[in-house]
Amino acid sequence: MHARAVEAAPAHLTSAHATLTLWEALTSTVPAARGAVVLTARGTVADVASACDAPLAASAAAALDELRERSGPTLATVLGCPTCGQVLDVPLDLRALADSAQSAHDESDPLERRVACASGEVVVRAPTTSDVLDAITSSDPARHLRERCETWPPGAGTTDDDLAQVARAADDLTGLAAATVRASCPGCGQDVTADVDVVDLLTDQVTEQARTLLADVAELAAAYGWSQDAVLAMTPVRRRAYLDLVRAEW
């Protein structure tokens, strides 16, 4: 189950042109690589190829920063209760999500963990977009991803405790890319847990904003013959005022 954004708050300072450019880049890229697109769009790395070699946690953090700038500190999301089917309105605290990720980043190396096991030391590397893109082509993506990112001692045996420690290390390195949200269902009282994919939430937000902008352009172009650039150059307040005039005339 995944948390899903239900509204796009326009309280941000991102330019209209930047919104459309990011929307085009996100929607023309396979979902697994969209975090790398965000990392590039925010100027953290030079190009998408380099961003694909950055940790997934870095891409997710960049997506969260962009999402916060576009929606503010809280994002309205909905969850469906798997027990009774009730739809839950869940405000997602983006600031708290960012703070938790930063705390985890400050405590240890964001790129690698070394886990002491009964048969030796296991090196766990932070997964990247390149790792995911390679893994999704295999018959068992989860196992393939683990094999790419974990280095076990030769001939090492594995206990349940060893596997649990390594899994915790891998989760830590994944950071926001493996975030979850929890809520209690008011209908049946069951706890509801859902994955939070900040890149998906950002894509939904940008797509909604882009559709609104394109609709505004189409409406004003039809009414006044203005170009897309002329409409997008207006401030949101002025664009809305012209739209109100057009609709009043109709």
Q: What's the predicted TM-score (pTM) here?
A: 0.85
The pLDDT assigned to 121 comes to: 93
Domain ranges of the chain: 4-108+175-211
pLDDT in tens, 191-224: 988 888 999 999 999 999 999 999 999 999 999 9
Q: Which of 105-109, 122-126, 220-224, 231-235 has the lowest mean pLDDT?
A: 105-109
How are strands ordered across the β-sheet holding 150-151? Answer: 112-117, 120-125, 150-151
The pLDDT assigned to 65 comes to: 94
Is residue 6 very low, low, confident or very high in pLDDT (cuts 50, 70, 90)? very low
pLDDT in tens, 37-86: 999 999 999 999 999 999 999 999 999 999 999 999 999 888 889 999 99
Residue range 107-120: average pLDDT? 82
